[in-house]
Chain A
Amino acid sequence: MKSTPGKTFQKFKKENQTEDINRVGSPQAVLADEYLSAIKLVDVFVANIADKKQTARIVKELMTVSPLGDLQHLKRVRTSSDHGGPLQVVLFKSQSGQQMLENVNSDSKPQRVVDGLGAPYLVKVPATPPLTRQQYYEAIKYWPVNFHEDKEIAALLSVNYFSNEDLQYIENYMNLAIRLARTAETKMQLPIGAVVVNSSTKEVVSEAYDLRQAGYPLQHAVMVAIDLVAHSQGGGMWQFDGNYSHPSLKHATMTGANDSNGPYLCTGFDIFLTQEPCVMCSMALVHSRICRVFYGSSHPDGALGSHHKIHCQPGLNHHYKVFRNCLSQETEKLYKDR
């Protein structure tokens, strides 16, 4: 039952020092709040173990009479903060902060059933398992916990997630999205550009910009880009071909669109956007099964990090990765008057 969190902590700390996710203009993963929030605490009753040699027996007996339930992430026993002090063992979760002492000391309670325990007292411990190293460091200030690092999340939190080649890929298509936004501006449209790219072949599938000010309020850049993808597969709804006012709107022509294993909606595609999409567009990307979204500037009502996080919304049947801040030093210039 002895834990050595200190050792693990040092190893983690060293790697953690290289993290700096707020570099200007570099892609930053937008993760669900649970990975970013401060840890929540809960009161538990603990007791000192009078004789350390009895620890194994006490823990074994407590496992039967008082299982940890939803606190499985806690190590059952810890050495109290002063070195060589008594061992402390978790008894049970306090039902409310103001639990009456007589209730605590009732005959059925573990410290009555299990021999060798001192008087129970309240301690604050982490209520849920830590999901990131940062939460882990925070958690062990209160009580030693088990930590099973999610490698994918850890990688997403690191600045080294993207190779130089990836970063070049992102920069290239963000630059194209910015050029499209500039074109939109010359057409009296909102300066929002969108580029859909096949992430495995790196081929552009569609190039779009915002058209909502051209008469139809639903023609946001993302909606236009998605329909152009449909055109590339022999479908589509809105007529852009032969639209001489907007020759910059483009789509590829995909072969095999009618094969059972041909392209299906936006599966396997990335989209590059100058600005964070709204809730309609973010959900349109869920329906379209997009793979990844890269955007430059955030928007206060945006649905991929600001007002909502549609890409990690519980209950939805498709989730995609989102990276904000991409080339934001450039995209911010598009929205400086906002």
Chain B
Amino acid sequence: MSEVDDLYFQWMNEALVLAEEALKAQEVPVGCIIVYSNKIIATGGNEVNETKNATRHAEIIAIERVREFCRKEELSEKEIFKFSTLYVTVEPCVMCAAALRQVEIPVVVYGCANERFGGCGSILDVARDEAISNSIGPCIDVIGGILADKAIHLLKHFYKGENLNAPDHKRKRKNNA
């Protein structure tokens, strides 16, 4: 295993810790960190239920924490994003892949594939679609499948339960599965 690979696993383990915490808090167990200059400068977890905004995915939360970090440290957001790597336990969705391009994060490392919404190849490959570079920003280098089994394990655990925030008629009952 190369040194770089080793680093992927090390940071992904950090992201998995966040996903486990989310699971304990009954949120979707997805963990995300943004690493700049060998330091975690931002973390994020899914905040859809508490904000009633379905776009509050872990990646978006982490992006906004980088912005806060830059404001506090008086750094240029654009420069920081340009040299950051995002680690997330599940493949970014179509929306997040496009969002990551717009803030110009160059590298994304993810755990398991996202068969329902994935934007790095599962549903669409938004991350590497050169045709939209003018409006959405540069393509992203994507590395998938890092500690995928652990990420899947957490998701399976979660989806055995039910989303208590969905309205009654929309909610999937455990015993219907």
Q: Interface residues, chain A, CB within 8 Å of chain B?
A: 216-218, 223, 226-227, 229-230, 233-237, 257, 260-262, 264-267, 278-281, 283-284, 286-289, 299, 301, 307-308, 310, 313, 315-317
Contact = CB atoms under 8 A, between A and B. Distances in A.
B67 interface: yes
B95 A237 contact: no
Contact of A218 (B60, B94, B135, B169): B60
Given A218-B103, A280-B102, A315-B123, A261 B51 contact: no
B38 interface: no
A284 B55 contact: yes
A252 B47 CA distance: 22
A280 B51 contact: no
Given A235-B51, A315-B123, A310 B103 contact: no
Given A261-B168, A301-B134, A301-B136, A284 B54 contact: yes
A316 B117 contact: yes
Contact of A223 (B55, B122, B134, B135): B55
Given A226-B53, A267-B167, A283-B117, 11 more contacts: A218-B99, A227-B53, A236-B52, A236-B53, A237-B47, A237-B53, A265-B53, A278-B136, A280-B95, A283-B98, A315-B116
Give the bracket for the number of chain B residues in contact with chain A.
35 or more
Contacts of A279: 94-95, 98, 119, 124, 126, 132, 136
A72 to B, nearest CB: 30
B93 interface: yes
B121 to A, nearest CB: 12
B67 A216 contact: yes
Nearest to A220: B102
A283 B131 CA distance: 18
B61 to A, nearest CB: 9
B174 interface: no
Nearest to A264: B167
A283 B52 contact: no
B168 A260 contact: yes
Contact of A283 (B94, B134, B168): B94
A237 B117 CA distance: 22
A287 B94 CA distance: 10
A313 B124 contact: yes
